[in-house]
Amino acid sequence: MNVEILEKTDTNLRFVIRDADAPFVNALRRIIISEVPCMAIDEVVILENSSMIQDEVLAHRLGLVPIKTDLNAYNLREECVCKSKFGCNLCRVALTLDVEATDTTTVYSGSLVSENAAIVPVSANIPLVKLAPGQKLKLEADVRLGRGKEHAKWQPVAVCAYKNMPQIKINPKLCDACGECVKVCPKAVFAVAEGKVEVRNLLACTLCLDCVDACPKNPKAVEVTWDKNTFIFNLESTGALPPERILQEAVKILDKKTADFLKELAGEKDETS
């Protein structure tokens, strides 16, 4: 297997995996979406809320605020040494919010005060509620680690998808550079240069085959297929974790699943799970 990074930023990771197969790449995708833990607000105690928004709606909205996650310092509640449903300082971070409006004010995620400066909302600019003069909001929120399969708020990614690597062939004997494929392609994959159609941006191809349909030649001058063992993987983090960390955690989880499966096959009892 061979991996080539195409793009890497604080939140995005785009790479090509060669010599892999769809079940493996799909397993990675599903583990990232449903099993890599990240932090989110789970329980909210509303002490005072005289705003227009109902407590439940506000709690739901708070739950969806992405929170910067520290996987090294915190445990999943169910795996924590405290064995308590209330949590301890190894599995819970408390946030508080206390605002009173003197003027019409929008309360943003940045107003949440955390007991741990590293565990805060990813963005301070997420609107939570609008307060009219005199309205008050006071609450305590518990942040904990969880997994996407329990609730989507614990999904560390906004986008996690892959596609097969496109393969486009233009037959120079049939193609007269009429430009129909250039015009129809929504991703600007083709260009005409020096009386010839060229593939300029192969990776952008979504395999829609509109270019093949648009080609007036018979047989078609353009052929679009895909490599079933090469994938373009696209991952966009919510900001809770760096994208490469998300991938590393997914690989660790896949490793553990495989090891557990082999142990079960061998009939051994696993004391830890």
Residues 6+ apart with CB under 8 A from 82: 88, 90, 91
Q: CA-based diameter of the chain, in Å? A: 77
Residue 70 structure tokens: 């520290």
Q: How far apart are the first and last CA of the chain?
A: 31
Q: How far is the CB of 41 from Zn ion (least distance, A)?
A: 17
**DSSP state for residue 195 in the 8-state scheme:** T
Is the CB of 12 or the CB of 116 nearer to Zn ion?
Answer: 116
Is the CB of 89 or the CB of 171 nearer to Zn ion?
Answer: 89
**DSSP state for residue 203 in the 8-state scheme:** G
Is the CB of 72 or the CB of 102 nearer to Zn ion?
Answer: 72
Instruction: Give Cα separations from 257 to 80, 131, 143, 232, 243 (angstroms).
Output: 20, 48, 27, 24, 21
Residues 6+ apart with CB under 8 A from 220: 174, 212
Q: How far apart are the C-alpha atoms of 125 and 111, rounded to whole Å?
A: 9
Q: How far is the CB of 117 from Zn ion (least distance, A)?
A: 20
Return residues touching Zn ion (CB under 5 A): 80, 82, 87-88, 90-91
Question: Does residue 78 contact residue 194 with C-beta atoms inside 8 Å?
Answer: no
Is the CB of 140 or the CB of 244 nearer to Zn ion?
Answer: 140
Q: How far apart are the C-alpha atoms of 181 and 192, rounded to whole Å?
A: 10
Q: How far apart are the C-alpha atoms of 74 and 119, rounded to whole Å?
A: 11
Is the CB of 29 or the CB of 77 nearer to Zn ion?
Answer: 77
Q: How far is the CB of 144 from Zn ion (least distance, A)?
A: 9
Is the CB of 88 or the CB of 113 nearer to Zn ion?
Answer: 88
Is the CB of 93 or the CB of 160 nearer to Zn ion?
Answer: 93
Q: How far is the CB of 78 from Zn ion (least distance, A)?
A: 10
Helix, coil or strand: residue 187: coil
Q: How far is the CB of 75 from Zn ion (least distance, A)?
A: 6
Q: How far apart are the C-alpha atoms of 188 and 193, rounded to whole Å?
A: 14
Q: How far is the CB of 190 from Zn ion (least distance, A)?
A: 57
Q: How far is the CB of 93 from Zn ion (least distance, A)?
A: 11
